[in-house]
């Protein structure tokens, strides 16, 4: 099994890269995220996932191990092949994919071409527990809480409340309330306390 390929970057397009490693040119399928991260350097290192089919051996490359890990999780879902997983990782970065799965955000996954409602739901159901076990959830939930906090604060400022006072009230509510509070609930509670 190939873990990574490091060598001279010979060719790079948004869908594949060719890396010359000791005189052998490896054709490696990549996502748009990896395409962006590679940049225009002469030397490149890609973490590889190998798919062996009856008619071909196909390499998929990733600029980061985290992206490869999410790719492998995605292809473990029934009905999601390597091409679909690469398309998902070209449309959403690894944090966005994990956040959509943990939060049950079907619409975020549906924005990816070729992913319907049932496929998005299957991905969420199959992978939510696996992603929660990795410990990434705490980072994701804090990012979600920051988004909820910022949106609620913005709404309160637009309603005419003073920013500092609104921030104190929102922070107090977030520290005492449950973790899955919605923006609407947060704004309602803040209005009661202002």
pLDDT in tens, 42-75: 899 999 999 998 999 999 999 999 999 999 999 9
Q: How high does pLDDT run on average in the chain?
A: 86
What is the arithmetic mean of pLDDT over 11-40? Answer: 92
121: pLDDT confidence band, cut at 50, 70 and 90?
very high
User: What is d(CA 59, CA 160) in angstroms, rounded to the nearest whole number?
Assistant: 56
Q: Please report how many Cα atoms fall inside a 13 Å half-sphere around the Cα of residue 138, on the Cβ side.
A: 3
The structural domains of the chain, with segments of one domain joined by +, span 4-62, 65-133, 137-193
Structure confidence at residue 142 as a pLDDT band (50, 70, 90): low
Cβ atoms of 50 and 2 closer than 8 Å: yes
CATH homologous superfamily for the domain 4-62: Nucleic acid-binding proteins (2.40.50.140)
Superfamily of domain 65-133: 5' to 3' exonuclease, C-terminal subdomain (1.10.150.20)
The model carries a pTM of 0.70
The domains spanning 65-133 and 137-193 adopt the same CATH topology:
no
- For 137-193, give the CATH class: mainly alpha
Per-residue confidence band for 125, with pLDDT thresholds at 50, 70 and 90: very high
In angstroms, rounded to a whole number, what is the distance separating the alpha carbons of residues 102 and 100?
6
Band of pLDDT at residue 1, cut at 50, 70 and 90: confident
Q: What is the DSSP letter of 8?
A: E
Percentage of the chain lying above the pLDDT 90 cut:
46
Beta pairing class for 43-52 and 57-62: antiparallel
Please give the average per-residue pLDDT across 5-33, as a whole number: 94
pLDDT tens digits along 79-117:
899 999 999 999 988 888 988 888 788 888 988 888 999
């Amino acid at each position: 099994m190939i873990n990574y390929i490091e060598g001279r970057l010979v060719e790079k397009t948004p869908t594949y890269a060719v890396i010359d490693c000791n005189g052998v040119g490896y054709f490696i399928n990549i996502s748009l995220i990896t395409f962006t991260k590679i940049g225009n350097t002469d030397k490149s290192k890609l973490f590889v996932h190998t798919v062996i089919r009856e008619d071909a051996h196909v390499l998929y490359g990733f600029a980061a191990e985290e992206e490869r890990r999410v790719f492998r999780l995605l292809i473990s879902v029934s009905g999601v092949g390597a091409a679909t997983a690469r398309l998902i990782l070209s449309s959403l970065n690894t944090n966005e994919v994990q956040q959509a799965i943990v939060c049950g955000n079907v619409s975020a996954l549906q924005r990816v071409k070729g992913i319907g409602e049932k496929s998005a739901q299957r991905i969420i159901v199959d992978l939510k527990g696996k992603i929660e076990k990795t410990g990434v959830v705490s980072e994701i939930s804090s990012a979600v809480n920051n988004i909820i906090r910022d949106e609620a604060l913005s709404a309160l400022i637009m309603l005419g409340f003073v920013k500092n006072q609104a921030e104190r009230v929102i922070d107090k509510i977030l520290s005492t309330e449950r973790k899955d509070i919605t923006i609407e609930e947060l704004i309602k509670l803040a209005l009661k306390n202002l």
